[in-house]
Amino acid sequence: MANSFTCNIVSAEASIFSGSVEQVIASGLMGDLGVLPGHAPLLTELQPGPIRVIYDGGKEDNFFVSGGFMEVQPNVVTILADSAARAADLDEAAAQEARQQALRAFNDKSSELDYTRAAAELAEAVAQLRTIQQLRKKAGKG
Amino acid sequence: MAAAKEIRTQIGSIKNTQKITSAMEMVAASKMRKAQDLMKASQPYAKQIRNVVAHIADANPEYKHDYMVERTEVKRVGYIVVSTDRGLCGGLNHNLFKAVLKDAAAWRDQGAELEFCALGSKASSFFNKYGGKLVAAKSGLGEAPTVEDLIGSVKVMLEAYDEGRLDRLIVVHNEFVNTMTQQPVLRQLLPLSPDMGADEQDDENARPGSWDYLYEPDAKALLDNLLVRFVESQVYQAVVENGACEQAARMIAMKSATDNAGDLIDDLEMVYNKARQAAITQEISEIVGGAAAV
């Protein structure tokens, strides 16, 4: 069991995932990063995007977070997500719609919506789409 | 019969009150279940972020965030007091305010000034009466408060801390022990105290002092965000826990009110029956007396 560690994913509303995994791949603020057992202690902010956890034996699960923090300790990884969802729950149509809306608000600077919020919404929608597309690709391959 | 009629109206009005209190009891019972679910749902996040922050406090970071440094002189203490919006929940708020005042008096004796942030309308009206310096207030949080509702008032306190207007920040709320028991707790949020996560800390990871994290992007930006998030989540947890306490306390208060109304009705019915019996006896003796006189 030396090559597995505990991973906890929690969001403000609920505990999303907790269990023993072999690898966690998250999208940090500086780029994607994979965490294996025995990783040095690390704290990073997370970008909106997918989180992949790979179990012993290669099976994997996808989650979506819209930002948050990840703490890595040698034998435990804690992900504090702003809001997290199982990637399979994501609805592509809803994500597309959100992206369109964000883009509209983004372009229409005269509108009441403030610019930073629109940018954040856009980033989130794009990240959701990225998660879905990643899932698609894998489904196509398998 | 005048006395009997009066008693009957009294019984009627008590019965009406009893109906209201028993309805409120049932409403509170169903709301309590929801509030408890909300409290349980947000617990993992609050617990995990507390663990992470405890790890940070344990570590030997290259960059000491302002929130992590104990200030030598405590000149001003800030309290975030979490209360309910509505009354009729027994001594819940009263006990909480008593706990605050006791702690505040101790600080005042040491020469510290006090500032309060009131969450819930009961706290703001209390501090208006009591005369504490109220710097932020938020009420009308409802049954399902969100973190967004709280950000504003928390920010006021954090800014005060950043500017050095506060040297210590304490959150006060009721702790949900079980349905029958709620007790006020005071917890220091800032500066981070090392014993904060002690009870939850898994000992495998406790290697105090000698290590540091790798930070991405950099320690300052990261800790700034993380610690603000930490304070917000602790305050949010306090608010939802207090919400569960409110409903439980109201349920108990209304249950005892209903029981008391029942006792009162029983007593009054006894008095009423006696009065009625006395009136009948008197009438009979009058008739018998009248008949004998004829």
CA distance A31 to B92: 49
**Contact assignment for A44 to B222 by CB distance below 8 Å:** yes
**Contact assignment for B222 to A80 by CB distance below 8 Å:** no
Domains of chain B, earliest start first? 27-251 (3.40.1380.10)
- Judge if ipTM > 0.90: no
Give Cβ neighbours of residue A9 (< 8 Å, ≥ 6 apart): A15, A16, A17, A18, A51, A53, A63, A65, A79, A81, A84
Helix ranges (DSSP H) in B147-211: 147-162
CATH number of A5-86: 2.60.15.10
Give Cβ neighbours of residue B180 (< 8 Å, ≥ 6 apart): B248, B252
Which residues does chain B have within 8 Å of residue A71's beta carbon, measured at their own beta carbons? 52, 55, 213
**8-state DSSP, A50:** E
Rounded to the nearest integer, the mean pLDDT of chain B is 87
| Of A65, A87, A56, A61, the residue nearest A11 (C-alpha) | A65
Cα torsion angle, B37, B41, B44, B46, sign: negative
CA distance A46 to A29: 5
Q: A136 or B176, which is more confident?
A: B176
pLDDT of residue A97: 73
**Contact assignment for B217 to A29 by CB distance below 8 Å:** yes
pLDDT of residue B201: 44
pLDDT at A67 over 70: yes
Cα torsion angle, A131, A129, B225, B153, sign: negative
> What's the gap in Å between the CA of A11 and the closest CA on chain B?
6
CATH number of A90-141: 1.20.5
pLDDT at A16 over 60: yes
> What's the gap in Å between the CA of A6 and the closest CA on chain B?
13
Q: What is the 3-state secondary structure (H, E, C) of B242-286?
A: HHHHHHHHHHHHHHHHHHHHHHHHHHHHHHHHHHHHHHHHHHHHH
Supply φ then ψ for residue B39, to 5 degrees: -65, -45
Which residue in chain A is spatially nearest to B43 when comparing CA positions? A14
- For the stretch A84-140, pLDDT in tens is 666 666 666 677 777 777 677 667 665 555 777 777 778 888 888 888 887 777 777
Strands (DSSP E) along B157-257, which ranges?
A: 168-176, 182-190, 214-216
Q: What are the boundaries of each domain within chain A?
A: 5-86, 90-141
Give Cβ neighbours of residue B38 (< 8 Å, ≥ 6 apart): B144, B240, B243, B244
**Contact assignment for A41 to B213 by CB distance below 8 Å:** yes
Lowest mean pLDDT among A2-6, A65-69, B204-208, B250-254: B204-208
Which residues does chain B have within 8 Å of residue A9's beta carbon, measured at their own beta carbons? none
pLDDT of residue A89: 66
- Single-letter code of the amino acid located at B64: K
| Of B120, B143, B121, B138, the residue nearest B28 (C-alpha) | B143
Contact, B81 vs B94, CB < 8 A?
no
Of B45, B56, B212, Cβ closest to residue A11: B45
Which residue in chain A is spatially nearest to B145 when comparing CA positions? A13
**Contact assignment for B216 to A78 by CB distance below 8 Å:** no
Tell me the count of A-B CB pairs closer than 8 A.
76
- For the stretch B64-101, pLDDT in tens is 788 888 887 888 899 999 999 988 998 999 999 999 99
Which residue in chain B is spatially nearest to A13 when comparing CA positions? B42
Average of pLDDT values for B130-145? 85
Q: Taking the CB of residue B16, how many other CB atoms lie within 10 A of it?
A: 11
Average of pLDDT values for A57-74? 87
Rg (CA), chain A: 16
